[in-house]
């Protein structure tokens, strides 16, 4: 099911965590945006999300952490008027702390219902990257709870800190949500958590959608965005279905993405704890970005 998000209306959500009141910030080297309302847990058909606002007025931003499958990684997006000066795509320095990693994150500017959003890719609360065939050691709840801020440095040295309290309770809610989510897709969460081999990609996923597939109308209008999808994969490794988990505007990329994935994605099946082939799912995203230069 294709869906966009209106952050002015948090319907069908569960509130978690304590309420924080923003206070005036002293003139310091870094602008600090304190949490100004509760974390909201959004239970969607294809994702589990944590959303909270930070700061006030034109400085206000919304932080969204989205998970589309069990694991430590989440999609990290930031919304707010203050991000409007960031155009197209570039690099944003992201640092989680205390004790997390700092990294240069490829960032894509998109718009959701007129609201600028920076899409910063996959990470966890330690700031570790998640790339193909590279999965860091499992993060512990204690490590998650210890992280209380994230610093963002945009081009031209525009820097601010998003400051929050312990993430222990919100992350517990996230994990419970994901168990229910997998079950709602028709998979046994216990079987999926104990796979002896996860579904394996055959070939290079980068060839499943290429610049040659870019919709002509989007090239003319300058449209770009990210489409996150889920593929159902059966016991033979065949792709049996495609679902859009999340998309940015415009809509034209979503249908095309699923068409391409169903046609080109190839897999080796997953194996359960006894080595028997079982049905499973595969999640990924296509970043539709205009060629530079």
| Tens digits of pLDDT across the chain (293 residues) | 333 333 333 323 333 433 333 333 344 478 999 999 999 998 889 999 999 999 999 899 999 999 999 989 888 899 999 888 887 778 899 999 998 889 888 888 888 777 889 888 888 899 887 765 567 788 998 998 999 999 999 887 689 999 998 888 999 999 999 999 999 999 999 999 999 999 999 999 989 999 899 988 888 888 888 899 999 999 999 999 999 998 876 677 999 999 999 999 999 999 999 999 999 999 999 988 877 65
Residue with tokens 């034209």: 252
- What order do you get walking across the sheet with 239-247 strand by strand? 239-247, 225-233, 280-288
pTM value > 0.85: no
pLDDT at 131: 64
How far apart are alpha carbons 267 and 265 in whole angstroms? 7
pLDDT of residue 261: 97
CA distance 206 to 184: 29
pLDDT of residue 133: 56
Q: Please provide the average confidence, as pLDDT, over all residues in the chain.
A: 84
Q: What pLDDT does residue 221 have?
A: 80
Structure confidence at residue 157 (pLDDT): 66
Segment holding 193, helix H or strand E? helix 189-193
Would you call 257 exposed, middle or buried from its count of C-beta atoms within 10 A (0-12, 13-18, 19+)? Answer: buried
pLDDT attached to residue 43: 87
User: Which residue intervals of 93-186 are DSSP H helices?
Assistant: 141-146, 168-184
Q: Which residue in 24, 30, 77 sits closest to 55, CA to CA?
A: 24
- Candidates 5, 25, 19; CA nearest to 160 is 25
The whole-number pLDDT of residue 60 equals 94
């Amino acid at each position: 099911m294709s869906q966009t998000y209106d952050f002015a209306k948090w319907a069908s959500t569960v509130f978690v965590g304590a309420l924080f009141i923003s206070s005036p910030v002293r003139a310091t080297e870094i602008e600090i945006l304190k949490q100004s309302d509760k974390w909201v847990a959004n239970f969607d058909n294809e994702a589990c999300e944590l959303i909270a606002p930070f700061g006030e007025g034109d400085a206000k931003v919304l932080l969204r952490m989205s998970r589309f499958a069990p694991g430590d990684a989440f999609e990290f997006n930031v919304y707010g008027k203050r991000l409007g000066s960031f155009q197209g795509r570039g690099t944003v320095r992201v640092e989680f702390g205390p004790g997390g990693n700092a990294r240069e994150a490829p960032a894509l500017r998109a718009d959701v219902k007129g609201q600028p959003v920076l899409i910063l890719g996959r990470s966890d609360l330690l700031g570790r990257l998640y790339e193909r065939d590279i999965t860091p050691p499992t993060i512990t709840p204690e490590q998650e709870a210890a992280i209380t801020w994230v610093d963002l440095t945009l081009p031209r040295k525009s820097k601010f800190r998003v400051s929050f309290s312990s993430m222990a309770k919100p992350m517990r809610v996230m994990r419970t949500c994901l168990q229910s989510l997998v079950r709602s897709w028709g998979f046994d969460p216990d079987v999926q958590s104990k796979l002896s081999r996860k579904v394996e990609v055959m070939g290079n996923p980068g060839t499943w959608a290429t610049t040659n597939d870019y919709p002509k109308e989007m090239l003319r209008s300058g449209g770009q965005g990210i489409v996150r999808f889920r593929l159902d994969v059966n016991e033979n490794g065949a792709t049996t279905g495609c679902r859009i988990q999340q998309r940015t505007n415009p809509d034209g990329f979503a249908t095309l993405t699923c068409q391409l994935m169903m046609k080109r994605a190839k897999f080796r099946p997953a194996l359960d704890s006894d080595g028997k082939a079982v049905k499973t799912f595969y999640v990924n995203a296509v970043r539709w970005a205009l060629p530079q230069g």
